[in-house]
Every structure is written in C-alpha cells, then in structure tokens.
Amino acid sequence: MILYFTGTGNSRYIAHKIASATGEDIVSINEKIKEKDKSSVKTDGRLIFIMPTYAWRIPKVVENWISEVDFHGAEKAWFVMNCGSEIGNAEKYNARLCTDKNFAYMGTAQIVMPENYIAMFDAPDKSEAKEIIAKADPVIDSIPEILKAGKSFPPPRNNMYDRFMSRIVNPLFYTFSVKTNAFKADEKCVGCGRCVKLCPLNNIRLENGRPIWGKDCTHCMACISYCPTKAIEYGKKSVGKPRYHLD
C-alpha cells in the first residue's frame, strides 16, 4: 500500500509512478488528515510512505498521523522522501517511528524534485522544473524493483551536517518559521475557495470572499502555489517568485 502526503504534487506524482509499476493501492494522507480520519487502515503487510521533506525530516503532521493510526497487518515500511536538495538525517527519525509502530524499517529513498517552499527559497520556472523532474524519473523508476524484491533501500548520506540539520534546525524551523501571519490575499483574489479546499489542516476559511488563515499550518504551500490568480503572497518573501505545482 502506498500512502502519500503532498503540498504541490511532487509526492502524488511519485506515488502514481510507483503504483503503476507495482499495482499497489494508493491512499492520500492529505484526505485522511483533512477529514480527521484516524480509523484503522487495513494493509497487505507492506507500507510505502511518500512525502516531501520539511526541514530535513518528514512533515510533523504526517508523523503525528502515522503515530496515531493503526495499520492492520502492516509488517514492513519503506519511506520515499522528495526534496529540493537533501533529506539530512531523516532516516534516523523514520527508523525510530517504525520502531514505535512495530514495523520493520526498510530504508529511506531520496528523490530531488522541484522546490516549492517560496516562503524561504525560489521555486523553478516551468522549464527548470521539467528538467529536474526528468532527472528524477530514473530514480523513481528504480524503486519498484526494490519493492518487488522486498529489499531495503540503500542507506542515504549521513554526515555531521545531515545530523545537525535534522536534529537542531528541524525543531527551530517549526518554532520560528511555520507561521501564518504573513499569508495575505490581495485584490486579485476572486474568492474561488481553492485554497480552502486544498488546505490539509482546514486552516483557511473565506470571510467576505477573501481567505483568512488560522494558526494550524504546516507550510505545505498548496494555497499559495495553486491560487489561479496568484493573489496570495507570503509577506514580501514570495513576491515575484514563480509558483510551482505538478499536475
């Protein structure tokens, strides 16, 4: 079973490519979280978790959801993490999560995909994104054979920098960076509500035809990246930057 979480489509793209080669069922963690669905998930013994990298680890909302859900019959778990550059020492925390859930940890694979975190970095334009995805495709296509063989992923890089980023920077990121007060919609907003629909945490509501953000945010960038009129900005940090989404 493949379970994916996505902000702007990278994980969904990877999940469907792998599923087309393996025949695995696909479950959207976004939908589960949005619906506050923590009911038991029946599995065939295998779990393939696919998600973006948030500050060198898996998203906290995903880790919390996995921790709280019973995966009936699950025995082994693989992690596939996409990132703009690197996943740090995320493997350590994925392995610890598996221990907590009594899963056999089968490794973590890193796939470099187009950056979407325009609250801090630059997203690529369409041509640059296409090139990055083309380079990622062979890596994605190598994964199904590993899964079919029941093998573990090769260990990712693990140096002092990786350990520092995942252990020290990750909690600082959530403390100081994951805030919503900089999100604003300007006069280009048409009140379509797409941001409300896409938000996995139900953190956005429309008020007088304009989106209002609450405090429960994971910085997935879905709202700002999918806005059809590019009406949403994250303070001055997103101004003039390309919006990236894959679908």
- The answer to whether the beta carbons of residues 77 and 98 sit under 8 Å apart is yes
Query: Going residue by residue through the chain (247 aa), what tens digit of pLDDT does each one get?
Result: 999 999 999 999 999 999 999 999 999 999 999 999 999 999 999 999 999 999 999 999 999 999 999 999 999 999 999 999 999 999 999 999 999 999 999 999 999 999 999 999 999 999 999 999 999 999 999 999 999 999 999 999 999 999 999 999 999 999 999 999 999 999 999 999 999 999 999 999 999 999 999 999 999 999 999 999 999 999 999 999 999 999 8
Q: What's the one-letter identity of residue 18?
A: I
Domains and CATH numbers, the chain: 2-175 (3.40.50), 183-234 (3.30.70.20)
- The answer to whether the beta carbons of residues 5 and 15 sit under 8 Å apart is no
- The answer to whether the beta carbons of residues 43 and 54 sit under 8 Å apart is no
- With helix as H, strand as E and coil as C, how does the chain read? CEEECCCCCHHHHHHHHHHHHHCCCEEEHHHHHHCCCCCCEECCCEEEEEEECECCECCHHHHHHHHHCCEECCCEEEEEEEECCCCCCHHHHHHHHHHHHCCEEEEEEEEECCCCCCCCCCCCCHHHHHHHHHHHHHHHHHHHHHHHHCCCCCCCCCCHHHHHHHHHHHHHHHHHCCCCCCEEECCCCCCCCHHHHHCCCCCEEEECCEEEECCCCCCCCHHHHHCCCCCEEECCCCCCCCCCCCC
pLDDT at 11: 98
pLDDT 10s digits, 102-116:
999 999 999 999 999
pLDDT at 6: 98
Q: What's the one-letter identity of residue 15?
A: A
pLDDT 10s digits, 19-70:
999 999 999 999 999 999 999 999 999 999 999 999 999 999 999 999 999 9
